[in-house]
Amino acid sequence: MRLGVLDVGSNTVHLLVVDAHPGARPLPAHSHKAELRLAELLDMDGAIGPDGVDRLIGVVHDALQAAEDKGVEDLLTFATSAVREASNADDVLARVQAETGIELQVLTGAEEARLTFLAARRWFGWSAGKLLVLDIGGGSLEIAYGIDEEPDAAASLPLGAGRLTAGWLPVDPPAPEAIRALRRHVRAEIARTVGEFSRFGSPDHVVATSKTFKQLARIAGAARSAEGLYVQRELKRESLEAWVPRLAGMSAEQRSGLPGVSEGRSGQLLAGALVAEGAMDLFGVKNLEVCPWALREGVILRRLDHMGSP
């Protein structure tokens, strides 16, 4: 059957259409996305303003039309950090439902981490052993660890690249003291969670998902996306540590000229790099592998599992 998953994320509203059946891997058929950067649209009270809600509704309408055009039979919809933590979340959800007919399921941070972990586990298989999975979104950082399909530990921290850029690095290029302050904040937040994971022992394989990690791996020398899903892409901590000061000295426009860095994400890349560097350092990770599957695929896989249940 043809499934669609509509992901209202903190950076992007993304419709992914796949041909999927229980027991088979989902095959991508169509992708429709729009960058809203909701994490950067929150006002001083933490609310998504009327203009942001209007834009969200318009993008959802466009995605629904794309889903209809592509013959989607079952549409799964969810929202993540930006909507979840908005002070007017209930009003936003009510307006979206009233004007589009779509009832967005708001995932908790722990659910995000667990579903992303499921996707990574299915991608790498049981032979990967104990997995540590890191995912940097626009609004939050998800961390999950385990040996099965359900992680033994999962956490969500308010360390998304968009959120941190808007709150800590509003000037382009950012001042050195602002970067140092953000670095201290990021590492303090991550350090609070390390003990929760370290008690399970060292992972056998460390995996990262998300656009931020893909872009960081690309500028550090990983293969281009055009070379396909099945090419192994890694990010070494020493390479990342060498790139962070270089990124700090660039404007967003200069970063957009780097390999694999889009103009829409270039402003967030430094904050994302500080989170990635902090996580790899504090968890003792020297090298990680980028996984092409993430939250959307996890939502699809969970749906297929339920379809296949008696």
Question: Is 95 among the domain residues?
Answer: yes
Report the percentage of the chain scoring pLDDT > 90.
Answer: 92
In this structure, the number of other CB atoms found within 10 A of the CB of residue 135 comes to 27
Considering the domain architecture, whether residues 100 and 126 belong to the same structural domain is answered as no
Considering the domain architecture, whether residues 132 and 264 belong to the same structural domain is answered as yes
261 Ramachandran zone, left/alpha/beta (phi>0; psi -120 to 50): beta
User: Do residues 32 and 6 touch, judged by C-beta distance below 8 A?
Assistant: no
Q: State the average pLDDT for the chain.
A: 95
Q: Can you tell me whether residue 132 is helix, strand or coil? A: strand
Predicted TM-score (pTM) of the model is 0.95
Mean pLDDT (whole number) for 5-26 = 93
Task: Provide the domain count of the chain.
Answer: 2
Considering the domain architecture, whether residues 195 and 224 belong to the same structural domain is answered as yes
Question: Is 145 among the domain residues?
Answer: yes
pLDDT digits (tens, 9 = 90+) for 204-217: 999 999 999 999 99
Considering the domain architecture, whether residues 129 and 96 belong to the same structural domain is answered as no
The one-letter amino acid code at 27 reads: L
pLDDT digits (tens, 9 = 90+) for 125-160: 999 999 999 999 999 999 999 999 999 999 999 999
Among 106, 122, 145, the domain boundary falls at 106
Quick one: pLDDT band at residue 310, thresholds 50, 70, 90? low
Domain enclosing residue 115, as ranges: 109-295
| Distance of alpha carbon 310 from alpha carbon 304, whole angstroms | 12
Mean pLDDT (whole number) for 27-38 = 94
With a CB cutoff of 8 Å and minimum separation 6, the contacts of 58 are: none
Considering the domain architecture, whether residues 123 and 59 belong to the same structural domain is answered as no
Question: Is 306 among the domain residues?
Answer: no
Query: At 92, which CATH number?
Result: 3.30.420.40
